Structure 1
Amino acid sequence: MKDPERAMLLSVHPRFANAILAGSKTVEVRRQRVAAPPGTPVLLYATAPTMAVVGMARIAAVHVASPREVWSTHRAQTGITRREYDTYMTGATRASGLTLEDPISFEEPVTLSALRAAGTFHPPQSYRYMKSDELRQVAAAGPVVSSALREVLGDLAPA
């Protein structure tokens, strides 16, 4: 990644987090335009009932187009049915298909309570970008995560 100061925190249902980490879901869809360059690290936050950062991946590409075009291009990689996709995209005029690669599953997920104990942490509704101070906070919350983050982002070990 060109900018080691930035990564994406992506909230996904546990079913989808597991599929991404298993490699069976390689495209995550969003209802809005996502502007993230290839190589951007993505931390996967699995929503309730898991409520933990469970792994990470990298963005290989982002395809922004109409919902119809994103589905047409990526349907086999999304891990969802057409009905689920159409329900999710209701009312959207743009969609993004995030092609993810190099998934890493954390042996010990970092729970929401551990993340909050390490500092102020709020999981996003959809996604948000994280800067180095927030990444250090996540790294401090779990040694397995710290090791994986250092490997991908450089030395982010807490001071």
Structure 2
Amino acid sequence: MKVLLSINPEHVENIFKGVKTFEFRRKVFARKDVTTVVVYCTMPVGKIVGEFDIDTILMDAPDEIWEKTRSGSGITKDFFDQYFSDRKVAYALKIGEVREYEEYVDPKEVLDNFTPPQSYMYMKEDRQKIGRCEQLDFW
């Protein structure tokens, strides 16, 4: 199963460069069969730009997550602390194999009623526009 995550352009760039090896989340997927993240790069890009495999998902108190992931965080401690302020639990997706698409994809062309998700969106076949995604192997 794949999920789509909205990620800011600076973080997307660092993921594809290999600088950012963890993606931080306040919430994680309820389904346990999620193995791949489809990356939607937020505005001004506004496109699906690639995907990465999830190596593992870490869950712990924010301070513990920072200690385990800071070398691959791609962000500052201040940014991390602000993102997880007032949270007792933090999640870190350890990024496995990364695949940047040669051609970026307009999500409105491949997904019905697309709105960038606040946390995540399951990539289900019933959201796919007919005949538009087979070439990208989204599902």
Q: Distance in 2 between matches of 1:114 and 1:133?
A: 14
Residues paired across the two proteins, number? 139
SS at match of 1:86: helix
Equivalent position of 1:156 in the other structure: none
TM-score (norm 2): 0.87
> Structure 1: which 4+ aligned runs deviate by more than 6 Å?
none
TM-score (norm 1): 0.77
Q: CA RMSD in A?
A: 2.3
Aligned 1:1-159 pairs, distance under 5 A: 6-35=1-30, 37=32, 40-115=35-110, 119-134=112-127, 136-137=128-129, 140=132, 146-149=134-137
CA 1:139–1:62: 2 relative to 1, 3 Å: farther
The CA deviation at 1:130 is 2.0
Higher-helix-fraction structure: 1
Deviations 1:32-75 (A, max 9, x none): 34456587111000111111111001111000111111101001
Q: Give the number of the structure with larger relative contact order, counting CA–CA contacts within 8 Å between residues 6 or more apart.
A: 2
Q: Distance in 1 between matches of 2:131 and 2:63?
A: 38
Q: Distance in 2 between matches of 1:124 and 1:76?
A: 28
